[in-house]
Amino acid sequence: MEMITPPASSSSSSSSFRDQKMKVQKADVHNFENFRASSDSEIVKEFRLFRVYKDGRVKLNFPPFVKATVPPSDDPVTGVRSKDVTISSEPPVSARIFIPKVTDPKQKFPLLFYMHGGGFCMLSAFAPGYHSFCSTLSAEAGAIVVSVEYGLFPDRPIPACYEDSWAALQWVASHVSGSGPEPWLNDHADFGKVFIGGDSAGGNISHTLTFQVGSIGLPGVKVVGVILIHPYFGGTEDDQMWLYMNPSNSGLQDPRMKPSVEDLGKLGCERVLIFVAEKDLLNVVGKNYHEDLKKSGWGGRAELVENHGEEHVFHMRNPNCEKAVELTSKVVSFIKED
C-alpha cells in the first residue's frame, strides 16, 4: 500500500520562513557593524604627534607616562616653595607658582612667566620635569616662576593656548598695585623685571605673548627679556599639523606660526635669548627667527645659543647632563643680568 505524506502545515512553513529571514537580518547587521567599525578605524590624517580617524576621533602618539603630574611642594634643600592657583574656571586656566626662600618680608624677586612645551597637545605645567625645571630656575635665579597650565588640543584646539596664556599674563599684571588675589605676587614680585619664556610650543607662545605686549601693552609691567628654548615656528613638516590643530588659522603665513619681520620689530622686550639644538627638526626655524629679528628694526639685543650634538628639548629628558646644566645656567644668567 502506497504511503502518502501529508503536506506541511502552513504554520510550520511560516516559522521556517521567519527563521531564515531573521538569519539574513542578523547577517546584514553583522556586516554593517563590521563595515562601520572598519570605516571608523580608517585613518584619514596622520601627523607626527597624532592621527585622525574617519569618525573624527583623535589619538595622540605618546606613552601614558607623558600624562604624569606631581603636586606642588616645598623643597627643604633650596627653600623654594610652590603652590597651584586657579586663574579662570571658564575656560579652565591655572598655574603653578614657585617662590625662592624669603629672608625679608619686603624682599622682591624678578618674575619668570613660563609656558611648557608638548606640541600644543600634551604635557603639563604640573609634569614632573617641568616642576623640577621651574623649581631649579627659581632657586638659582632667585626668581618667582609662574608656570602656566593652558588648554591643549584636541579638547581645546588652538588658539586656546594663546588666549589662556595671555589671560594668565594679564592675571599676573593685576598684582602690580599690590592688591591682586595672590599674596606671593603682591608682596614679592618685581614687575619692573619680568621675563617670558618657554620651550618648543611654549617658546612659540612666548613669542606671541611678547608681540602682544609690544602691540597692546601691559600696564605697570616691564618685560625685560624673552627666553625661547628650541621654539616651534613654521617652515617644517609640522606646519600642516599646526594648521589642523587651529581650525581658525589664516594659512601658512599665520603670524603665530610664522611671524613676519614687521611683527618681530614690535616685540615688547629689551632682550631675547634663543636656544636651538643641532639635531632638532626646529633648528633652522630658530635660526631664521634670530636672523629675521636682526633685520626687523627691533631695538633690543638678541643672542642665539646652539646646543651642539643635542636633540629637541634634551634638557628635559636628561636635566643633569653637562649641556643641560649649561643651558639652565645660561637662562639663570640671563635673568640675573642687570
As annotated, the active-site residues are 200, 280, 312
Q: Write down the residue that cell numbers 630658530 correspond to.
A: 286
CA-derived radius of gyration, the chain? 28
Residues pairing with 274 in the sheet: 228, 304
Burial of residue 274 (CB within 10 Å: 0-12, 13-18, 19+) is: buried
How far is residue 239's CA from residue 179's CA, in Å, rounded to a whole number? 42
Residues pairing with 302 in the sheet: 272
Q: Describe the crossing of helices 128-141 and 322-336 by its angle, rounded to 10 degrees.
A: 50
The single-letter code of the amino acid at 207 is H
DSSP state of 82: E
How far is residue 131's CA from residue 77's CA, in Å, rounded to a whole number? 15
The single-letter code of the amino acid at 312 is H
How far is residue 71's CA from residue 82's CA, in Å, rounded to a whole number? 9
How far is residue 132's CA from residue 138's CA, in Å, rounded to a whole number? 10
- Do residues 135 and 80 lie in contact, with contact meaning Cβ atoms separated by under 8 Å? yes
How far is residue 233's CA from residue 97's CA, in Å, rounded to a whole number? 27
CA distances (Å), 195 to each of 44, 146, 206, 304, in order? 41, 10, 10, 17
DSSP string, 76-133: TTT--EEEEEEEEETTEEEEEEEEPPPSSTT--EEEEEEE--STTTS--TTSHHHHHH
CB atoms within 10 A of CB 40: 12
- Cα 51 from chain centroid? 18
Angle 43-49-53 (CA atoms, 0-180°, nearest 5)?
A: 20
